[in-house]
Structure 1
Amino acid sequence: MIWNLGSINADNFYYLRDLPRPGETLTARDFRQGLGGKGANMSVAAARAGARVMHIGAVGKDGKWAKDRLLEYGVETQHINIVDTVTGHANICVSDDGENSIVISPGANYQVSDKMIGAALAEASPDDILLMQNETLNQHYAATIAKTLGLRVIYAAAPFDVQAVMHLIDHVDLLVLNQGEAEEFEASIGAELETCQVDDIIVTLGAQGCKWVSNKAHTTCSFPAYKVDAIDTTGAGDTFTGYLAAALDRRLTMPNAITLAMQASALMVMRRGTADVIPDLKDIEDYGFDEIP
């Protein structure tokens, strides 16, 4: 089972020809609103990849719709708390070439307390997975409990903060970074990822695929990307990580888990939106990729 300490946002999408430059005002061609937040995206992706997922998070009284939608998408929501503040939200600009620019207001996501986390993880079992990102607080507390209970900790270190990563690094079993984050992390520690104490590190490289660094096995493997026509990259990394966690929870090997996650994220960039449009296993099968692991 996957326990996901993660954000829940209302995502506001503004579709533009180009991303705005400093001081520039642009008129959006289209506007849409949907469920998002890195945490919610990863929970939905993991559920659609066949895992049992319990989301640990918070929304305001205005966010009951988000909790209901997560439940509709197969995510268990008993540990999503209703708090006395507004639900988090993100304003997302998407350009014609699929690139995006995002501003986040954390809202209720910053109200997830140690007490809430402890109440949830008290129900966890050894060999479960704790999945985390950086859009909530108290990750170190959660990771400490998880390791005490024998859970595997997967940490997608975004939005990236070097100090947050270094504070957690001793508790992390699998670290997921994008290319820019990996470069910043290497610069901060003054060494390459291959020397890091984390057992497994995955670096997503966008159109160039991804890289898996196994410090336990002392190997590095590269995986080429699937060639697709991207229209919106928003949520692709979250989809990758959610699918990866689900595949590992289902005891797939790391190469097979990465392959499945890359297929899901390839489909994701061909869709507009975030949690509401994350593909499921049948979508991947129907698209005609290689055999699903």
Structure 2
Amino acid sequence: MSSTDFQSGREALGARLRELRAETGLSGKDFAERLGWPASKVSRLQAGKQTPSVGDMEAWARAAGKPEVIAELKARTAGLETTYRSWKRQLAAGHRARQEQGIAETAATILTRGVEVVRVPGLLQTPEYARYVFEQNAEFRRTPRDVDAAVRARVRRQEALYDPDKTFHFLIYEPALHASTSPGPVHVAQLDRLMGVIGLANVKLGIVPLAAPLRRAPSHGFWIYDRRLVIVETINTEMWLADEASLELYERSWDWLSESAVYGTQAQRLIGRVRAAFGSA
């Protein structure tokens, strides 16, 4: 589902909500009073300018005197949420729940491919590096800080790296190695971890040098799970894409970027040069 499809779906849902509200004979303002909501929220939902929660849909159906349409409205909302999942909603109780989703997706996947352009992939993060990632995300998104639980869940997910029935292929754009989002000693330990990962039998780590010729510059990170799902993170949402067009597009992006990557000893040397720039930390 493209962003245009998503907006069309949201507008269609808004039209359905407007229809249900109109059947009550109430104006938008009066309907909002019945719900105990600001009138602006009713207006935005009807215009397809806000993504409703499941709770919103239950309340709307009951306020319209149509509890029998709750299932329909929930299904419509789930259809939107399957593709575009807001971080605010996903992290309402903290990061742990999303990490456990990651554990489930990794467990269900044989070949996991991950691209990161601004940070180290979660599956390769040290606990200390991950801690800073979660703390910064919680502060930025103003979500609950369940950092200890989130770190433990991330470490559990990494156990899959040692499963001989699974294969992992990571591409990291060199700037992610330089991005200093944690204290020097933590960052150096993270770079050491990356060099150690290169020796794992079922893990392939490619580093795309900053000076490498590129068929297309990487714009953001993404993850491909087998050939059934692509997950893309943006500032305010996470996209879960399963349509054929998206799979083809992201696989092409993967193929083009991998052409510029270095592996094995070359990758270790590149990481080592970045590590040396941080000194003994």
TM-score by length of 2: 0.29
- Bigger radius of gyration: 2
User: Higher helix proportion, which one?
Assistant: 2
